[in-house]
């Protein structure tokens, strides 16, 4: 039998043991953990919509109408008009022909590759891709080849040296542990030159920063439409949208293939109808309230400028994800504990979430943070 105790002790000794903080409040800017009110900088609730009063009232109405569970998989009896309308609206928001709603971003990545890859397929991935993309490839029958982080010359060297029936470049639009944005224009050019499909996971960009005032906010918006050649696009609802679930957007044919062949989709109970309905409401709320995206941008700019003013070295990022690398798991855990003692909830990110010796403190800024919250955080960072 596996020696579980030794395995756990080894994790503790190396500084890689993980503990779960028990929250007893709504997900918001101020949360309660272990009975203590604390400023939350550990959330992906970028637009601060998870506890939005208007959306909660609408959600209550949806629950009264549809109940609390869907009761079945989408291909049996779990596919409602709310799912159908949500998919149509997502296609419109993102500019693709069609979309399909799934239960999580992880399942979107696993399920997409499960449906569209074959044994001869090679998937090329950035080394900083989210684990769900990496595991999606490993769980499929395709071959995984990883290129150096944001090194497009390394990608070209690798993709040009292989011959196969299907090549796929699969990348995060916004890297979840660094906040960096992929150059989707260059990746589109590479995909076109080497006849590869390009799949983009925009989990941390969907709904986040609005580059064009009259369009729905996505990372795609920072590029010219004619410069992009994206075959499939993935977004999530559990971050900026404030609800739960995910989707894949693409052509009618690719989405139909996912319906026919994706095992995670076929064999999972669908999202509750009320949840699909409130997600539609939240998307409309984001589309019509430009000021929440504007507030988020202002908070990001204020954090960065003030950090620079106080000589606090932060890695370069124009997104809500701001990081400081320390390179030691025990060091970042110690910083996390000290921050908590001072009323700040920030996360120590360690291997295997990031490469060894790249352990970091990850800060998640939201539209709900006030200047005084950010100043409290910066004063703490200044002291450490």
Residues of the chain with CATH 3.40.640.10: 53-288
Q: State the burial class of residue 262 (Cβ atoms within 10 Å of its Cβ: 0-12, 13-18, 19+).
A: buried
Identify the CATH class of 14-43+290-383.
alpha beta
Q: How far apart are CA 377 and CA 303, in angstroms?
A: 9
* pLDDT the model gives residue 384: 86
Q: Tell me if residue 169 falls in helix, strand or coil.
A: strand
Using CA atoms of 304, 307, 312, 315 in order, give the dihedral in degrees to the nearest 10.
-10
What's the mean per-residue pLDDT of the chain?
95
- The answer on pLDDT for 188 being more than 60 is yes
Residues of the chain with CATH 3.90.1150.10: 14-43+290-383
Phi-psi region of 48 (alpha: psi -120 to 50; beta: other; left: phi over 0): left
Q: Domain 53-288 carries which CATH code?
A: 3.40.640.10
Q: Tell me if residue 234 falls in helix, strand or coil.
A: strand
Q: Single out the residue of 170, 174, 176 nearest to residue 124, CA to CA.
A: 170
pLDDT in tens, 292-330: 999 999 999 999 999 999 999 999 999 999 999 999 999
Q: Single out the residue of 215, 195, 208 nearest to residue 237, CA to CA.
A: 208
pLDDT in tens, 109-165: 999 999 999 888 999 999 999 999 999 888 888 999 999 999 999 999 999 998 888
* pLDDT the model gives residue 102: 98
Give the bridge partners for 101, in sequence order. 247
DSSP codes, 274-309: HHHHHHHHHHHHHHH-HHHHHHHHHHHHHHHHHHHH
> Is 304 within 8 Å of 154 (Cβ atoms)?
no
């Amino acid at each position: 039998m596996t020696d579980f105790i030794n395995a756990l002790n080894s994790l503790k000794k190396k500084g890689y043991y993980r503990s779960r903080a028990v929250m007893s409040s709504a997900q918001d800017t101020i949360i309660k953990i272990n009975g203590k009110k604390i400023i939350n900088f550990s959330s992906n609730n970028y637009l601060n919509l998870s506890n939005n009063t208007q959306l909660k009232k609408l959600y209550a109405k949806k629950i009264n109408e549809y109940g609390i569970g869907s009761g079945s998989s989408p291909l049996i009896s779990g596919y409602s008009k709310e799912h159908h309308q949500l998919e149509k609206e997502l296609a419109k928001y993102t500019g693709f022909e069609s979309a399909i709603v799934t239960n999580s971003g992880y399942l979107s990545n696993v399920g997409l590759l499960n449906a569209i890859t074959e044994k001869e397929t090679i998937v090329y991935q950035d080394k900083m891709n989210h684990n769900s993309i990496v595991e999606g490839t490993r769980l499929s029958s395709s071959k995984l080849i990883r290129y150096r982080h944001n090194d497009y010359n390394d990608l070209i060297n690798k993709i040009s040296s292989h011959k196969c029936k299907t090549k796929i470049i699969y990348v995060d639009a916004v890297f979840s542990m660094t906040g960096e944005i992929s150059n989707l224009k260059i990746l589109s050019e590479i995909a076109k030159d080497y006849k590869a499909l390009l799949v983009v996971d925009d989990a941390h960009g969907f709904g986040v920063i609005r580059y064009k005032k009259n369009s729905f906010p996505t990372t795609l918006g920072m590029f010219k439409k004619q410069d992009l050649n994206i075959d499939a696009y993935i977004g999530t609802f559990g971050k900026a949208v404030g609800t739960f679930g995910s989707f894949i957007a693409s052509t009618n044919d690719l989405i139909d293939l996912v319906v026919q062949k994706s095992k995670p989709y076929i064999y999972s109970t669908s999202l509750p109808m009320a949840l699909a309905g409130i997600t539609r409401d939240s998307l409309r709320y984001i589309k019509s309230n430009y000021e929440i995206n504007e507030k988020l941008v202002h908070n990001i700019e204020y954090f960065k400028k003030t950090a620079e003013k106080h000589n606090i070295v932060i890695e370069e990022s124009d997104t809500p994800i701001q990081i400081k690398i320390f390179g030691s798991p025990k060091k970042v855990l110690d910083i996390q504990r000290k921050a908590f003692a001072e009323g700040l909830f920030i996360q120590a990110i360690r291997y295997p979430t990031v490469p060894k010796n790249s352990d970091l403190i990850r800060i998640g800024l939201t539209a709900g943070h006030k200047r005084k919250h950010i100043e409290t955080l910066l004063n703490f960072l200044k002291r450490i």
